[in-house]
Chains A and B, each alone.
Chain A
Amino acid sequence: MTTPVLVAENLTKRFSGLVAVDGVDLRVGRGEILALIGPNGAGKTTLFNLLAGRLRPTTGRIVLEGRDVTPLSLRERVRAGVVATFQIPRQFAEVTVEEIVGLAVHYGGGDRDVDGLCAEFGLAPQSQVGSLDLHALKMLEMCRAVAVAPSVLLLDEVASGLDHHERGSITERIRELAAAGTAIVVVEHSVDFIRSLCTRAMVLSFGTVLSEGSVADVFSDKVVADAYLGRRSS
């Protein structure tokens, strides 16, 4: 792995008596695509939200390019360079595509041309968000995230609900972003999508790291298979 861009150290998140994420360490380097996988309830979404700044960790810290960003708010973290997409894109029905992308550029600290960004993601700038189909909504999520020129891009089930062709176009865009040096963390359920896209995988189970390594190694790990089938590893 290249020099890590984002480092999470001993991240723990407790909700009352429930420990959703328990002492997780995570590193992702420039140009790397890391998959966060695990069965339902493994803590993927909580870890994702901790990295994005939507949740504050109970203990542990998150370091972005040497800077401790743990105390930063969601917006401050966006401006620092950590941007996350939503699993279910928000339906800003009456807002236009160019407004959302423009806002991301204006307030996020980017310097990209709005029309150029929209064209890059196959979006018509003047379309109302309410008129977009799921694929276009996912592209808009990616587009507004990329608009702030992030160092780290967090993608939450970006391919879910899309057909094979649409997944292909998303995969292509993610690869291009990684090739340009963006560190990418993907939460995804589709094994095929992960195999075709990610360079490394981290498997969570009951809030802890069950396995970590190359995608091929992780999916050939018997402990991982057991976790996915619902059996507790011994």
Chain B
Amino acid sequence: MSGAPVGRFHSVRGLAVGCALLVVVTVVLALGDDSYGITFWRTILMTVTLAVTWNLIGGLAGQHSFAHPIMFGVGAYVGTAVLGAAPAMPLWIVVILGALAATAVSVLLTPAFRARGPYFAILTIAASEGLRVAGNAFFPGGSAGQYVPITASPSDSGLLVYAIVITLVAIVLHHVVDESPIGSGLRMLAIDESAAAAVGVPTTRLKVTAFVLGAPCVGAFGVVYMAGATFVDPNTVFNLNYAVLAVLTTLLGGVGLLWGAVFGAVVWQLVTKQLSDSIQNPGIATMVNGAALLVVILVLPGGIVGTALATLPARWRDRFPVPRPRWTRKAGARGEAVPAT
């Protein structure tokens, strides 16, 4: 079928297989006693969540946000504050509260969408860094940070369960958005905002939706990080590296592609670990890592998954027919009424 989209629409079966793989690895690790492996897999799941949620706003909508550290840090600090007030509070409640706080903060940040392109990116960087500096000056413990007063500290395996649940929520959320008119509208406005508006797409509303939808998962992971580290400080939890990590891993896997973001996050963490294990000097390991990323971006501008899908031979493509977006079948039925004049 000529001209059919490649790698755009992900079938429910593909979603189930991808999620099942992540769950299997998690269960195998959780049932074992490899504490380092469990912690490393949790870091990978955190990176997957950061990348997938960034892909919503940065990949689909083309809005290069660096606000992830804000949501992550707010989750971590709200979790710390909640446990400070009630140290025996069940962690799942703290995770939900952290997610809600991150969502509320993301809503407060939405005026940034008045700016476009690099101005929007700079605004989000300024907000992230501003909060980090403010945290150093005004948060309890200041730049020295504070210990988390958690009485029932969960096991590594217990934290892994939280991590996989949050990651799966982020992936399913991305899938649902991608398969809806919101996803198509985001892709359209990413290319040409005024042309999307000319079709009737509510561009600002969709950008805000993509931004706010990713916030709870990032905030929730801030709480999981806090519970695992039992210590928070502004320079760590509001670190701009969380945003950079999300951008880099998505670029590596394939911008705009759900499984590109997932694959990029997993590969990045595995390669980084391998390099740090093999090269004793951490500075050189980082340089090699960066150089490798640069080569991949230059040689494969669509990312590893994006390029692989685009170069798939036709006979392979025909074996995996791309499902059509179902929402277009009932677009008319769901159309909103034109307001009365």
Residues of chain A whose beta carbon lies under 8 Å from any beta carbon of chain B: 52, 54, 64-67, 73-75, 78-81, 83-84, 86, 90-96, 98-115, 124-128, 130-132, 144, 148
Contacts and interface: CB of A to CB of B under 8 A. Distances in A.
Contacts of B334: 106
Of the four ranges (under 10, 10 to 19, 20 to 34, 35 or more), the interface on chain B belongs to 35 or more
A103 B184 contact: yes
Contacts of B191: 90-93, 95
Contacts of B192: 90, 92
Contact of A108 (B2, B194, B199): B199
Contact of A79 (B3, B8, B200, B329): B200
B328 A75 contact: no
Contacts of A74: 194, 197-198
Nearest to B7: A94
Interface in B316-341: 324-325, 327-329, 331-339, 341
Contacts of B336: 106-107, 109
Contacts of B338: 79-81, 109
Contact of B335 (A111, A125, A131): A111
Contacts of A95: 184, 187-188, 191
B332 A113 contact: yes
B219 interface: no
A215 B325 CA distance: 45
Q: Which 4 A-B pairs have the closest CB atoms?
A: A108-B200, A102-B328, A131-B3, A107-B200
B341 A104 contact: no
Contacts of B327: 102, 106
B5 A96 contact: yes
Contacts of B328: 98-99, 101-102, 114, 125
A80 B325 contact: no
13 contacts: A52-B198, A67-B341, A78-B198, A80-B341, A95-B191, A101-B328, A104-B200, A106-B336, A107-B185, A108-B335, A109-B200, A109-B337, A111-B335
Question: Among A105, A106, A148, which residue has the most Cβ atoms of chain B within 10 A?
Answer: A106
Nearest to B339: A79
Contacts of A126: 1, 3-5, 324
Given A100-B199, A103-B181, A114-B331, 8 more contacts: A75-B197, A104-B199, A107-B199, A109-B337, A110-B335, A124-B3, A128-B4, A131-B2
A159 to B, nearest CB: 19
A83 B78 CA distance: 47
B142 interface: no
Interface string B163-206: 00000000000000000010011011001101111111111000
Contacts of B203: 75
Contacts of A131: 2-3
Contacts of A93: 191
B187 to A, nearest CB: 6
A86 to B, nearest CB: 7
B187 A94 contact: yes
Contacts of A105: 331-332, 335
A158 B339 CA distance: 29
B197 A106 contact: no
A98 B201 contact: no
A102 B197 contact: no
Nearest to A124: B3
